[in-house]
């Protein structure tokens, strides 16, 4: 399950409660197309690694203090933390890279593949690599590079 962080105190509590589990923080914005495209894959991975990973989502517009603390300038940005140490940070809506990074830090799956429900059939899950990014400036100046599927179709 993906947990939506409410504020800095909430994030600190979630980090403390995670213990030795891998923590994945997804910095996103509601207006960010690539963030919306990769969200179903993140949900699927959160379920798949539920016993060994905690997946948190931080809305950059509602949690500016956390966004500044982690020096986030583009979305989606994924921060991988274990035992208080940042292991990896990557920017962009690349579902293959997200899955490989989670696999690298937690190992095999907790849920048998036949029990995983397919959350979405978005282009990012079809094997096409989407690396769309939204730059964080202001609402009026928000700029995104589109994440496209193999057929050049933009999804919102």
- As a whole number of angstroms, the distance between CA 65 and CA 33 comes to 23
Nearest to 93 by CA among 154, 149, 151, 35: 35
Active site residue 144: no
> From the candidates 11, 22, 29, 32, which is the catalytic residue?
32
Active site residue 35: yes
Instruction: Let me know: does 65 contact 9? Beta carbons within 8 Å.
Output: no
Q: Sort 156 into a burial class: Cβ within 10 Å, 0-12 / 13-18 / 19+.
A: exposed
> From the candidates 11, 24, 35, 46, which is the catalytic residue?
35
Catalytic residues: 32, 35
């Amino acid at each position: 399950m993906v947990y939506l962080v409410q504020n800095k105190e909430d994030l600190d509590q979630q980090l403390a409660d995670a213990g030795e589990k891998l923590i994945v923080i997804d910095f996103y914005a509601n207006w960010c197309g690539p963030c919306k495209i990769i969200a179903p894959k993140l949900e699927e991975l959160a379920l798949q690694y539920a016993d060994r990973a905690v997946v948190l989502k931080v809305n950059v517009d509602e949690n500016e203090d956390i966004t500044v603390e982690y020096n986030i300038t583009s979305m989606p940005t994924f921060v991988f933390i274990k035992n208080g140490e940042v292991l990896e940070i990557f920017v962009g809506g690349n579902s293959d890279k997200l899955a490989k990074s989670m696999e690298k830090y937690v190992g095999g799956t907790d849920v048998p593949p036949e029990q995983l429900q397919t959350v979405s059939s978005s282009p990012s899950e079809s094997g096409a690599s989407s690396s769309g990014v939204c730059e964080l400036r202001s609402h009026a100046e928000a700029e995104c590079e589109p994440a496209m599927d193999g057929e050049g179709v933009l999804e919102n």
